[in-house]
Amino acid sequence: MSNKSGFFKRLKALSFSQKQLFATALCQRMLPNYQLFSEVCEYGNPQVLQTAMELLWQSQYDNKLKFNTDVHLQRIEEITPEPAEFEAYGAYPAMDAAVAVSTLLNAIQGKAEDDITNISKLSSSTVAHYIEALSDESLTDEALDEYVFAHPFMEQEKEMQNILLDAIESEKNVSKALVQGLRKEIIESGVSNIGISLD
């Protein structure tokens, strides 16, 4: 994903709290996908994911913060769409957003660093599937791979993940200012990894 000594090598070299921040930022960016689907299909409850996200951000700098992960995982499971039950394509990126938040909560609880870094791949795969859904169905597998990889949405996804990695790498310690700055930036941009904006 990056020309700089291997994207995933760099990602895996981060500290646990840096990885957690990286994944939290990606989850936040996926949230509009769920919110729009919920609004259009009148399904689920975006507030469940928003509450979990607020706790994930705050837990990065507030060591006294305590919350019951299992309760939040249960709530998220209840509002995660099953795409087969919907005609709308939006069920897929909405499901991915819910799965990403659940994966992160589980990974933090179990100190599973690989699961945290896998959220990078999950975000990219949401983008890839969306591009495939937009593509010409007559493309061969090889041509489709090339189309997906060169698509502006995938370029933006790679660029965004690189910018995020650069910002987190540049600060050895995860400070409150860094966490709040990244959160503000992502929320204010208001655009998801597949270009969805709620405005």
* pLDDT tens digit sequence for 84-125: 999 999 999 999 999 999 999 999 999 999 999 999 999 999
CA distance 32 to 97: 9
Both structure tokens of 63: 């060591």
Task: List, in order, residues 6 or more apart from 27 with CB less than 8 Å away.
Answer: 53, 56, 97, 100, 101, 104, 119
Look at 86-95, 129-138, 179-188 and tell me which has the smallest mean pLDDT: 129-138
Both structure tokens of 181: 């700055």
Find out whether 157 and 124 touch, Cβ atoms under 8 Å. Answer: yes
Q: Is the predicted pLDDT of residue 135 greater than 90, yes or no?
A: no
Q: What does the angle CA 28 – CA 127 – CA 92 come to, to the nearest 5 degrees?
A: 80
Please provide the CATH number assigned to the domain covering 7-188.
1.20.1590.10
Query: Percent of the chain having pLDDT more than 90?
Result: 87
CA distance 98 to 183: 18
* pLDDT tens digit sequence for 43-94: 999 999 999 999 999 999 998 999 999 999 999 999 999 999 999 999 999 9
Task: List, in order, residues 6 or more apart from 91 with CB less than 8 Å away.
Answer: 37, 41, 81, 82, 83, 85
What band does 4 get if pLDDT is binned at 50, 70 and 90? low
Give residue 137's pLDDT: 77
Look at 16-20, 76-80, 141-145, 181-185 and tell me which has the smallest mean pLDDT: 141-145
Q: Which residues pair with 191 in a beta bridge?
A: 197
What band does 3 get if pLDDT is binned at 50, 70 and 90? very low
